[in-house]
């Protein structure tokens, strides 16, 4: 693995990220934080971003009828680029959403984003936007960094989302093309690193690993002055053992297993809070009503600060994915938020996420989709509440030492400065 450099020269960075969040979007993004940290240090960042939230069904009113909108988010210069509004309606709609951004971001990267850039970074998925990054890097003569946040197309194939053999073949070709031409490839987990090195033949001199990370700047402020009893009263959480899931409600998450777990624990005071949006949410809400499951509550996505408040008001956080082999290679974003809020984790993801949890002694692994294990493990926590504080503190300490977002942002910057010399 490469070593990061420690350069102080001012950088002008172009980032292509379809899901770069608006300032008032719910949730939080590592890239919103990374770019803030970099601009605070005196570097310049321009982002080519999509006009559609990853869980949204339509464009904001300010983007209707427009293909490009330029705006500032703090010190970060953002070009919002067209994404088809068919994005969240079907698989084909989502595919066209990917391609529409690929083309609009290419135009913006060549003709809208002004100035000379030292590097272009592309974060995926979607995979196909890597073609945009490559073309921009070639035509504007700068190195190209590609980031792998998800092993695509494997994850789409394993979850049954991607079945068309022609599209699968095209996706693998695009993947190989991008990997060959990127100057650096960043991966988010050690399993991704091993897969790219051992199975896809990527030389180690172009692989780096900057993982997802915890945002302690927000959690530590809230830990000092958060009025937990009042918040729980306000949101009707008193008397419940609250397990909160924050994130996408999609096919990959298979949140029906949480409904099943709620039904199995109907005789307890356990309450599951599912916060977020996604293609499966409407079906899940309807299914919960049909089955009269009253201890699983759905909430819409909320701003990042409120996400942390809900986590702090809970007993545990849940990280949940479908039981497929590809997901054994991923870290769940929200795992680090739970750790930074000193909450133990119910980890329904095997592989490296399970290893992370067990190394940190920050909760308990539950086999995905195994409802009897959900039932057994959660009842163990009900019987031994002292575990909540003990495991929460352990996870917090581990994340503080290994996954501090400020530290990782500076490390990432060192790597890209090293190739831009």
The answer to which of 126-130, 231-235, 285-289, 349-353 has the lowest mean pLDDT is 126-130
DSSP code per residue over 286-298: HHHHHTT--SEEE
- The whole-number average pLDDT for the span 304-308 is 90
What pLDDT does 154 receive?
83
- 222 and 207 in one domain? no
The answer to which of 49-63, 112-126, 167-181, 274-288 has the lowest mean pLDDT is 49-63
Residue 342 CA to residue 362 CA, distance in Å, equals: 9
- 411 and 355 in one domain? no
Question: Residue 279 falls within a domain, yes or no?
Answer: yes
- 208 and 236 in one domain? no
Question: Residue 187 falls within a domain, yes or no?
Answer: yes
- 241 and 163 in one domain? no
Q: How many residues does the chain have?
A: 421
The answer, yes or no, to whether the previous bond of 125 is cis (omega within 30 of 0) is yes
| Mean pLDDT (the chain, rounded) | 91
What's the CA dihedral at 379, 385, 388, 394 to 10 degrees? Answer: -110
Question: Residue 1 falls within a domain, yes or no?
Answer: no
Question: Residue 2 falls within a domain, yes or no?
Answer: no
What pLDDT does 213 receive?
83
Tokens of 348: 């329904």
- 411 and 373 in one domain? no
Q: Which residue has the tokens 């079945």?
A: 163
- 251 and 173 in one domain? no
193-217: per-residue pLDDT in tens? 999 999 999 999 999 999 988 888 8
Question: Residue 71 falls within a domain, yes or no?
Answer: yes
What pLDDT does 53 receive?
73
Residue 189 CA to residue 365 CA, distance in Å, equals: 18
What pLDDT does 54 receive?
67
Residue 161 CA to residue 386 CA, distance in Å, equals: 41
Contact 419, 142 (CB under 8 A): no
Residue that wins the pLDDT comparison between 61 and 291: 291
Residue 200 CA to residue 154 CA, distance in Å, equals: 12
- 226 and 209 in one domain? no
Read off the pLDDT band of 98 (50, 70, 90): confident
Residue 348 CA to residue 65 CA, distance in Å, equals: 42
Question: Residue 143 falls within a domain, yes or no?
Answer: yes
The answer, yes or no, to whether the previous bond of 93 is cis (omega within 30 of 0) is no
- 408 and 392 in one domain? no
Q: Are strands 207-209 and 316-320 parallel, antiparallel or unpaired?
A: unpaired
Residue that wins the pLDDT comparison between 52 and 173: 173
Number of domains in the chain: 2
Distances (CA, A) of 3 to 181, 212, 305: 20, 18, 34
* Domain, as residue range, for 198: 12-213+404-419
What pLDDT does 197 receive?
95
Residue that wins the pLDDT comparison between 289 and 152: 289
**Structure letter (DSSP) for residue 267:** T
- 152 and 274 in one domain? no
The answer to which of 101-105, 295-299, 300-304 has the lowest mean pLDDT is 300-304
State the CATH number of the domain containing residue 174.
Answer: 3.40.50.2000
Radius of gyration over every alpha carbon of the chain, rounded to an integer in angstroms? 21
Tokens of 192: 């991704």
Residue 384 CA to residue 403 CA, distance in Å, equals: 28
Question: Residue 3 falls within a domain, yes or no?
Answer: no
- 165 and 20 in one domain? yes
Q: Is the pLDDT of residue 5 over 60?
A: no
Read off the pLDDT band of 6 (50, 70, 90): very low
The answer, yes or no, to whether the previous bond of 126 is cis (omega within 30 of 0) is yes
Question: Residue 4 falls within a domain, yes or no?
Answer: no
- 193 and 294 in one domain? no
What pLDDT does 43 receive?
97
Residue 321 CA to residue 349 CA, distance in Å, equals: 6
158-169: per-residue pLDDT in tens? 877 778 888 889
- The whole-number average pLDDT for the span 169-174 is 90
- The whole-number average pLDDT for the span 244-270 is 96
Distances (CA, A) of 112 to 27, 81, 97, 207, 261: 28, 10, 20, 30, 50
- 89 and 235 in one domain? no
């Amino acid at each position: 693995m490469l070593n990061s450099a420690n350069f102080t020269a001012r950088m002008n960075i172009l980032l292509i990220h379809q899901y770069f969040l608006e300032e008032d979007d719910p949730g939080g993004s590592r890239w919103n934080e990374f770019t803030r940290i970099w601009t605070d240090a005196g570097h310049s960042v321009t982002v080519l971003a999509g006009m559609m939230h990853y869980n949204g069904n339509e464009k904001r009113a300010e983007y209707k009828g427009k293909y490009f909108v330029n705006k500032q988010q703090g010190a970060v210069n953002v070009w919002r680029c067209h994404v088809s509004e068919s994005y969240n309606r079907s698989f084909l709609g989502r595919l066209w959403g990917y391609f529409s951004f690929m083309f609009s971001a290419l135009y913006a990267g060549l003709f809208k984003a002004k100035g000379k850039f030292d590097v272009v970074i592309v974060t995926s998925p979607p995979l196909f936007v890597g073609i945009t990054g490559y073309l921009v890097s070639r035509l504007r003569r700068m190195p190209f960094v590609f980031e792998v946040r998800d092993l695509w197309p494997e994850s789409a194939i394993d979850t049954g989302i991607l079945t068309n053999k022609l599209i699968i073949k095209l996706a693998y070709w695009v993947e190989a093309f991008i990997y060959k031409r990127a100057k650096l490839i960043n991966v988010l987990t050690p399993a991704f690193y091993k897969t790219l090195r051992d199975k896809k033949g990527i030389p180690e001199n172009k692989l780096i690993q900057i993982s997802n990370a915890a945002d302690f700047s927000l959690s530590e402020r809230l830990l000092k002055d958060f009025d937990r009893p009042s918040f729980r009263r306000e949101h009707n959480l008193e008397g419940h053992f609250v397990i909160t899931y924050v994130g996408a409600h999609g096919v990959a998450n298979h949140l029906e297993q949480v409904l099943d777990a709620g039904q199995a624990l109907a005789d307890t005071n356990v309450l599951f809070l599912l916060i977020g949006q996604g293609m499966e949410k409407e079906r899940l809400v309807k299914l919960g009503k049909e089955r009269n499951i009253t201890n699983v509550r759905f909430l819409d996505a909320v701003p990042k600060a409120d996400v942390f408040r809900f986590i702090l008001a809970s007993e545990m956080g849940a990280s949940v994915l479908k039981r497929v082999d590809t997901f054994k290679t991923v870290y769940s974003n929200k795992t680090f938020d739970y750790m930074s809020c000193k909450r133990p984790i119910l980890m329904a993801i095997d592989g490296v996420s399970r290893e992370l949890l067990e190394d940190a002694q920050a909760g308990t692994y539950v086999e995905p989709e195994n409802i009897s294990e959900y039932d057994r493990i959660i009842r163990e926590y009900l019987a031994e509440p002292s575990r909540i504080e003990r495991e929460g503190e352990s996870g917090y300490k581990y994340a503080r030492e290994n996954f501090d977002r400020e530290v990782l942002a500076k490390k990432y910057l060192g790597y890209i400065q090293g190739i831009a010399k």
